Amino acid sequence: MSAAPVREVFASPAELAEAAARTVADELAAALERSGSAALALSGGSTPRTLYRLLALPEHRASIAWDRVDVFFGDERCVPPIDVDSNYRMAHETLLGPLQLDSERVHRIRGELGAEQAAAEYEELLRARLGPAPRLDLVLLGMGGDGHTASLFPGAPALDERRRLAVAARAPVEPRERVTLTFPALNAARRVLFLVAGVDKAPAVARVAAGDASAPAARVRPAEGSCTWMLDRAAAAGIP
């Protein structure tokens, strides 16, 4: 039975990012201690930018053995990696580039191939890198105002996937063609960290807190892991 998600509320997005940087460092250190390597999935969107920039700073960089971390992505827009809408580009500019990570350790979703081919390729890659029972050590996720997470949108067929780890998806906003990790992939993780900030997210946060499963983010409940919602006060405003 999956543990109930934990909520942590911070006075500001900056404090949230600082706390998230510490949590990421601790979680990766524990994974490295456990198995000598760690598998991290990055979130897209705008909220994690501050966290990524912090992790690239010398004071945080030193606390993580990045040379033993495999970096994956929770979802991607089907655009070239240099496109402004590319989650890979955002992560590269704010974290992966500054850290000069070995490209062998950075596993981006090749969205430019088109959603179906990119999803099939990523499925193969995840199974090849993570083994017969693929488990990510740490997954970073955001949430949209409609309750979507990664590119798992309300009412989408991708929500019903039971076996595959990565599938094609369609977003209600441009760029529409996406690739996303599925609930089987997310709920197999050891730790999921939601980073959610801003008053526009408050209604969806309240729906998730009330257990409203029509918000896809509410269905992220790692079976044998933990889930933490890191919220700023504005995003938490709707929670009793």
How far, in Å, CA of 152 to CA of 94, rounded?
24
Give the footprint of ligand 6PG on residues 109-138 (CB under 6 A): none
Options 92-100, 139-147, 208-216, 229-237: segment touching ligand 6PG (CB under 6 A)? 139-147
C-alpha dihedral (115, 119, 121, 123), degrees to nearest 10: 180
Which of 16, 91, 150, 189 is the binder for ligand 6PG (CB under 6 A)? 150
Tokens of 70: 């495999």
Per CB under 6 A, does 177 bind ligand 6PG?
A: no
Give the footprint of ligand 6PG on residues 70-99 (CB under 6 A): 74-75, 87
Backbone angles phi, psi at 10, to 5 degrees: -120, 150
Tokens of 214: 């029509």
Listed in sequence order, the DSSP H helices in 80-210 are 87-91, 97-99, 115-130, 183-186, 202-209
Per CB under 6 A, does 192 bind ligand 6PG?
A: no
Shortest Cβ 198–ligand 6PG spacing (Å): 7
Count of residues touching ligand 6PG (by CB under 6 A): 15
Binding residues for ligand 6PG, rule: CB under 6 A, are 43-47, 74-75, 87, 142-144, 148-151
